[in-house]
Amino acid sequence: MPKAVFNVFSPKKLRSGVVFASPHSGADYSQSFLSRTILNRHQIRSSEDAFVDQLFASAPTFGVPFLTALAPRAFVDLNRAADELDPALVDGAKQKRQNPRVASGLGVIPRVVAHGQAIYHGKLSQSEVQNRIDRYWHPYHKALQELLRQAQTQFGQAILVDCHSMPHEAVEAMGHCGGQKPEVVLGDRFGAAASAEVMDRIEEAFIGAGLTVSRNAPFAGAYITQAYGRPSRRQHAVQVEIDRALYMNEDKIEPNGNFAALKALLDSVIAEIAKINGEQLPLAAE
């Protein structure tokens, strides 16, 4: 089992109701997990949002907390509901409803990594799966809920910025913004997870840094955005996807020569987003 669940990096003084989080950048691949998988150390990392925790690491210096997962996505996916169990992987699990994520092998305990590569031979027991959910999924979400509660209590509203990275191939065929492919995709479940004012301000922060931005295509947000985005209750959630080709060699899973420059650019983005909750935005319509 991975040794720990998450880290919370807190600012010296909380200055904003914005909360940054990275649920898919965990890279604590324990030997016990590696001994269970049929993939090698490199293959098992292919679904990881590698280095996203480093890209957004400056968040606390701008007065906002940053929650990062340590357990890897291939071990437990924190951006899925706890009951998204895959009958093809979990012994005795029943499919409760049609769910394309689960059907493709990407439930809360994934069956595959990128390009459909199977993680295991055979199935996992329900007790092992439940142990992962109890030890990793629930504590992460409890910590996230507490950060959002603290933000809303102190600032009147909470804004979750859920940080991810996307494979370059996901946007290769897309043409946006005068033919330019998006470098950043913002997802708010087509307006259901964040108010227009919050979404506009976050988009402006990335555009102001010179990045090309798309909304809700090809990614509109998954479980976390859906579960925590409640704009009518002054709790907003926006998923941020960064094109991996901007900062890493995807084949080698290593930072590329542009990593430091992109991180510096994102520092300015984080600074702008952290300012949002210093102002009271209008209450979203029910």
Tens-place pLDDT, residues 146-172: 999 999 999 999 999 999 999 998 877
CA distances in angstroms from 179 to 117, 174, 176, 184, listed in the order given: 33, 8, 5, 15
Among residues 211, 223, 203, which one has the least CA distance to residue 107? Answer: 223
Residue 251 lies in a domain: yes
- The whole-number average pLDDT for the span 263-270 is 97
Greatest Cα pair distance in the chain: 53
Instruction: Tell me which DSSP letter residue 284 carries.
Output: P
Kindly tell me if the per-residue pLDDT of 52 is higher than 50: yes
Among residues 154, 143, 145, 122, which one has the least CA distance to residue 69? Answer: 143
Asked, as a colleague might, if the bond just before 218 is cis with ω within 30 of 0, I would say yes
Residue 238 lies in a domain: yes
Question: Over the chain, what is the mean pLDDT?
Answer: 92
Residue 284 lies in a domain: no
Residue 32 lies in a domain: yes
**C-beta of residue 181 within 8 angstroms of C-beta of residue 171:** yes
Over residues 17-47, the pLDDT tens digits come to: 999 999 999 999 999 999 999 999 999 999 9
Number of compact structural domains in the chain: 1
* Degrees to nearest 5, angle at CA 258 with 69 and 185: 55
pLDDT at 175: 55
Residue 158 lies in a domain: yes
Over residues 122-141, the pLDDT tens digits come to: 999 999 999 999 999 999 99
CA end-to-end span of the chain = 43
Query: Nearest 5°: phi and psi at 185?
Result: -115, 125
Asked, as a colleague might, if the bond just before 139 is cis with ω within 30 of 0, I would say no
Kindly tell me if the per-residue pLDDT of 279 is higher than 50: no
- The whole-number average pLDDT for the span 109-113 is 97
- The whole-number average pLDDT for the span 228-248 is 97
**C-beta of residue 229 within 8 angstroms of C-beta of residue 193:** yes
pLDDT at 280: 47
- The whole-number average pLDDT for the span 142-149 is 98
pTM score = 0.93
Among residues 144, 152, 10, which one has the least CA distance to residue 79? Answer: 144
Kindly tell me if the per-residue pLDDT of 97 is higher than 90: no
Residue 285 lies in a domain: no
**C-beta of residue 7 within 8 angstroms of C-beta of residue 52:** no
Domain, as residue range, for 71: 6-278
Residue 192 lies in a domain: yes
pLDDT at 281: 46
pLDDT at 94: 83
Indicate the burial class of 282 (C-beta count within 10 angstroms; 0-12, 13-18, 19 or more). exposed
Helix, strand, coil percent content, the chain, rounded in steps of 5: 35, 15, 50
Over residues 207-222, the pLDDT tens digits come to: 999 999 999 988 988 9
Chain CA centroid to CA 30, Å: 21
- Residue 249 maps to which CATH number? 3.40.630.40
Kindly tell me if the per-residue pLDDT of 92 is higher than 80: yes
Q: Do strands 254-255 and 213-215 pair parallel, antiparallel, or not at all (unpaired)?
A: unpaired
pLDDT interval class at 277 (50, 70, 90): confident
Of 95-99, 100-104, 242-246, 260-264, the poorest mean pLDDT is in 95-99
Q: Residue 68 pairs with which residues in a beta bridge?
A: 7, 22
Kindly tell me if the per-residue pLDDT of 100 is higher than 90: no
Distance CA 265, CA 28 (A): 27
State the CB neighbour count (10 A cutoff) for residue 182: 24
Residue 1 lies in a domain: no
